[in-house]
Structure 1
Amino acid sequence: MKYQVSQQAAAEVQAACIVVTIDQSGKLSDAAAVIDQASDGFLSKRYEAGDIKGKTAETLLLPGVSGIAAARVLLVGSGKETPNTTNAIKILNAVAAATSKYEGSVALALSELASEALPESWWAEQTAIAYAHASYKFTETKAKPEEEPKQAEAVIWLGGDVDTAFLKGSAIGEGINFAKELGNMPPNICTPTWLAEQAISLTADSALETMILDQEKLAELGAGAFYSVAKGSSEPGKIIVMQYKGTDASEAPHMILGKGITFDTGGISLKPGLKMDEMKYDMCGAASVFGTVKALLALKPKINVLAMVTSAENMPAGHASKPGDVVTSLSGKTIEILNTDAEGRLVLCDALTYGIDNYKPASIVDIATLTGACMAALGEVNSGLFTQDEDMAEQLQTAAKYSNDKVWRLPLEDDYQELLDSNFADMANIGGPLAGATTAACFLSRFTEGTPWAHLDIAGTAWKGGAAKGATGRPVSLLVNYLLNK
């Protein structure tokens, strides 16, 4: 998709479609008023006739009329008030969905919706992300691949200089779609080995170095928590280490760590069969790390990033871990495995230790589809945010608000730690039936060694089930903005 900026008048721009707005009181935007005047009141008459009420993201496609150069007009409702972040993205998604199929170019006269809170550059950035969303469709495993989704050749932005914003939005959109593609891949293809191959393919860019730690090497190192999960499968587990080098090597990297369980049966603590097919999405934390790296490689920010993925299958084989087993983590701490379905924290804790010991990161954010408890608490709207570091909390909440990739901060007080007490090891891997999302975060916090750290539980936001089944690509946008703000 190409993005262009133009100062042409709305009635004069040559395009397959021009997009203009109307609010809920019937007031046309300046660009819409120009078209209305050139067409003898054609747009205002549509409101008077009740064809459109101006509600947020409501659309009405109209044929081109005499007096304007565009072949079609898309009239879009902007609501009662200046759009907030959520409504603005609804508007842009509606626009992209309605216009991305047209051959040629689409002109957007949306700059009038900008505000102090959401400047024109933000609208342009989110426009590129919206068109990336509209262009994505999973076809990789179709017997007869469908035609590529149609998309406009170019988007013409009628307004100020927002070229840089379009570059950023395009990079984030590509990263989101990459994360979706990885998440949607079936688990017989998307194995830990296949994920490692995706990381290696990204190293064609000289800014990225990749190292793969295989299951045997990790066992030799003493990563007993990771090995306890990976050993139950015939597919060997791996920790994938990607280093994005954007500035001087003396600058400590910011670490992002993604859970990559490519299929989660629950192990010996077997999950119910209903919807178990969706457990291929238990690697969406890893997918978001890959998507973030993809965006960073396009944007080339001056920052060092350590991007790690812990990848394994959790299977109920004869040599799988059993409830009651005690394993020794890479840190030396021992763990009583009370539930083999609490495996994500086991693979992550050894990766945290490895990353801290070997790379001394300035900060860490781990991202994981970790707990059903978080999904029950927050649904599909907010990811759970856990941290005791106020600076990191503020940084992540700022990035979440800007990108509308929402988070909600949940408690991580020390009082919860005692729920992980074990009679037979330094800790148990679960804390009982209460506060499950918090005790999972408490478990991980024990392996952060004083490094500024935050945990994102994306169990409710990483994918959608049912008829809309598919990966969402969250929280790539949040992570990219968080890192760029560094």
Structure 2
Amino acid sequence: MQEGLLVSGASVFRSAQPTRGVEPELPVIPTALVEVDVVQRWRDGVPGATAVFDGETGPDLASAAEPFSVDPDVLSAIGASASAGDAKAFPLRSGGTGWVVGVGSGEPEKWRAAGAALARAVRERLTGITDTESEPGDLGDASDADYLQVRLPDDAGEELIGELTLGLALGGYRFKVTGEPAPPRLRKVLLVAPEGADVEPLREAVRRARELAAATALARDLANAPSNVKDPAWFTGVAVELAGPIANLTATVRDEKWLTDNGFGGILAVGGGSSRPPRLLQLDYRPQDATGPHLVLVGKGITFDTGGISLKPADGMHLMRTDMSGGAAVIGALLTIARLGLPVKVTGLVPSAENHVSGTAYRPGDVVRHYGGKTTEVGNTDAEGRMVLADAMAYAVEQLQPDLLVDVATLTGAMKVALGLRTGGLFATDDELAEQITDAGGRVGETWWRMPLLEDHADAVEGSLSDLKQTPAGPGGVTAALFLREFAEGVRWAHLDIAGPARADRDYSEVTVGGTGFAARTLAELAASLG
């Protein structure tokens, strides 16, 4: 094997994880997702769930109660409502458990919230059952709750099925590092189709939605993994291992020697302060039936960010284990793109480093030479993301000849201020690409807002001591994007800043606390739209 390379797909995976004493055992990665299938018959005695819709005079409890042969007053007594995602359980006369969940007026996105709420409610119930002994007349035992059937409405189509599957797959997501046995979880859900429905298109919608959910879940796994385990070697090595069995997908990892020999000054500068050296991951998906443009995705892979010499405040620094969320989204998306067998050529690049403080850390005032020759004067070592992305983008343009180049990163606090915690910032060099990304996000439940590449600030990126300034004055999200544009070299390019939505401090809809996996589904859907 060539020195400096770790390759999957055609050869062997060797873990690059160094030994650093006793480390916690992580949950299995990737996290197992609930199985979902479409069936044609409601099954008596099987735990089931029905939807509560808004009726003319309030929640339509009668329709929700009918499959269970219970009086609507039972649902009224437990506080059932049509509010999207409001899930309630109740005991059945025959034993076992029934569930009702609100879907409002029934728009597809309300079904995503409903699926997520059901998955969370079942998880909590299972956890409660294992913690306490069941009493006569309670809601059943654990054996009746790790699977579920959900009655679909008469107008259920592929969009609704996809949204519901996303919610079911992701709402019950859990990542916890513990010595305790893994808790029980919802394992299988049967979606009961309307009588006479053609189930094959619905099953295909389920399969596709589960693959999109798998991209998100893996990105969450990688973001949530603690940084005493997750260094650049581990992070990129996991991608190599997972890519190995997938047809037409090859993963290659370049080490610090290769990066030095090939002039990746930005990655090396950022990683220079850590005892755990940087890596560059390349994922190549090359289907034989590829059509359309060559899409290159670049994701920031900072496995922990202290800020370097420009040290971050202590409050919130522990969350910097998720500073590789852009890279995780690229990894999750590439694996899903390959498993779906999309007929499009896609390459993923993840420059990975740990931004640490030491005598070998890079300094404010340093001038760094990037891959390809451009130089940057460092203004703040905590603006490390653009340094590693610049190298990878320059490499992509010179070596990979992309038709479309998209980078994704937890890049600027300014974007969190501008857009909050649920919307990603989108910068693009042309309207068509911006619309393609926005539309792709809309189809998979991720919201983007286009931000301007303000030419009035373009000259602020120009350097005096070097070609470029790393942290020029002006609006932080905009100037960061303008800096990165210098490395796109005229290729159609978009920059996705996910500093806000990459993390969540509470559950909502299909999102769970911690790393959210935001952008992984959008990237996979973008690739699907190009084939």
TM-score over 0.5 for the pair: yes
Structure-1 separation of matches of 2:93 and 2:429: 59
Structure-1 separation of matches of 2:513 and 2:290: 42
What is the match of residue 283 of structure 2?
242
The CA deviation at 1:29 is 7.9
1:177 to 206, 217, 226: 217
1:96 aligns with 2:119: yes
What is the match of residue 188 of structure 2?
153
The CA deviation at 1:155 is 2.2
Q: Is the 8 A contact 2:52 2:81 kept in 1?
A: no
Over 4 Å off, 4+ runs: 248-252, 465-469
2:328 counterpart SS class: helix
The CA deviation at 1:317 is 1.5
1:108 aligns with 2:150: yes
Range with bigger deviation, 382-391 or 287-296: 287-296
Q: Is the 8 A contact 2:438 2:448 kept in 1?
A: yes
2:100 counterpart SS class: strand
Structure-2 separation of matches of 1:154 and 1:401: 25
Structure-2 separation of matches of 1:78 and 1:210: 42
1:127 aligns with 2:158: no
The CA deviation at 1:286 is 0.8
Structure-1 separation of matches of 2:301 and 2:48: 42
Tell me the alpha carbon deviations over residues 128-183 of structure 1, each in whole angstroms, 9 at most, x when there is no partner: 222222442223x32x2332442143323323421001111111222211111111
1:348 aligns with 2:372: no
1:146 counterpart SS class: coil
AA partner of residue 97 (structure 1): R
What is the match of residue 97 of structure 2?
72
Q: Cα RMSD (Å) of the superposition? A: 2.4
The CA deviation at 1:436 is 0.2
Structure-1 separation of matches of 2:90 and 2:207: 30
AA partner of residue 333 (structure 2): T
Question: CA 1:190/1:334 → structure 2, altered by over 3 Å: closer, same or farther?
Answer: same
1:318 aligns with 2:347: no
AA partner of residue 116 (structure 2): N
Tell me the alpha carbon deviations over residues 20-39 of structure 1, each in whole angstroms, 9 at most, x when there is no partner: 32325335389536437x44
Q: Is the 8 A contact 2:215 2:333 kept in 1?
A: yes
1:19 aligns with 2:50: yes
Which runs of 5 or more residues in structure 1 are unaligned? 115-119
Question: CA 1:45/1:154 → structure 2, altered by over 3 Å: closer, same or farther?
Answer: closer
Counterparts of 1:45-64 in structure 2, within 5 Å, are 46-47=75-76, 51-64=79-92
Structure-1 separation of matches of 2:51 and 2:108: 18
Question: CA 1:30/1:349 → structure 2, altered by over 3 Å: closer, same or farther?
Answer: farther
1:307 aligns with 2:342: no
What is the match of residue 446 of structure 2?
405
AA partner of residue 216 (structure 1): K
AA partner of residue 373 (structure 2): G
What is the match of residue 28 of structure 1?
60
1:83 aligns with 2:107: yes
Structure-2 separation of matches of 1:208 and 1:294: 8
Question: CA 1:463/1:353 → structure 2, altered by over 3 Å: closer, same or farther?
Answer: same
What is the match of residue 117 of structure 1?
none
Structure-2 separation of matches of 1:88 and 1:16: 19
1:111 counterpart SS class: coil
1:180 counterpart SS class: helix
Q: Is the 8 A contact 1:176 1:291 kept in 2?
A: yes
AA partner of residue 472 (structure 1): T
Structure-2 separation of matches of 1:88 and 1:2: 17
Q: Is the 8 A contact 1:385 1:454 kept in 2?
A: yes
**What is the TM-score with the length of structure 1 in the denominator?**
0.89
The CA deviation at 1:398 is 0.6
Tell me the alpha carbon deviations over residues 27-76 of structure 1, each in whole angstroms, 9 at most, x when there is no partner: 5389536437x44xx125644x683342232233222257xxx9433222
1:7 to 27, 40, 51: 40
Q: Is the 8 A contact 1:254 1:305 kept in 2?
A: yes
Q: Is the 8 A contact 1:18 1:72 kept in 2?
A: no
Structure-1 separation of matches of 2:61 and 2:343: 39
1:175 counterpart SS class: helix
Q: Is the 8 A contact 2:231 2:303 kept in 1?
A: yes
User: For this pair of structures, how many residues does the alignment match?
Assistant: 467
Tell me the alpha carbon deviations over residues 54-110 of structure 1, each in whole angstroms, 9 at most, x when there is no partner: 2232233222257xxx9433222232x34363x342222112223465546422123
The CA deviation at 1:239 is 0.9
Q: Is the 8 A contact 1:83 1:113 kept in 2?
A: no
Q: Is the 8 A contact 1:367 1:455 kept in 2?
A: yes
Q: Is the 8 A contact 2:147 2:186 kept in 1?
A: no
The CA deviation at 1:13 is 4.6
Tell me the alpha carbon deviations over residues 447-484 of structure 1, each in whole angstroms, 9 at most, x when there is no partner: 11111111110111111248985111111121111111
Range with bigger deviation, 98-107 or 324-333: 98-107
Structure-2 separation of matches of 1:82 and 1:250: 37
What is the match of residue 384 of structure 1?
425
Q: Is the 8 A contact 1:331 1:447 kept in 2?
A: no
1:482 aligns with 2:520: no
Q: Is the 8 A contact 1:386 1:441 kept in 2?
A: yes
1:137 aligns with 2:174: yes
Question: CA 1:470/1:50 → structure 2, altered by over 3 Å: closer, same or farther?
Answer: closer
Question: CA 1:31/1:169 → structure 2, altered by over 3 Å: closer, same or farther?
Answer: farther
The CA deviation at 1:377 is 1.1
What is the match of residue 72 of structure 2?
43
What is the match of residue 131 of structure 2?
none
1:54 counterpart SS class: coil
Higher relative contact order (CA 8 A, sep 6+): 2
Range with bigger deviation, 283-292 or 204-213: 204-213
AA partner of residue 100 (structure 2): L
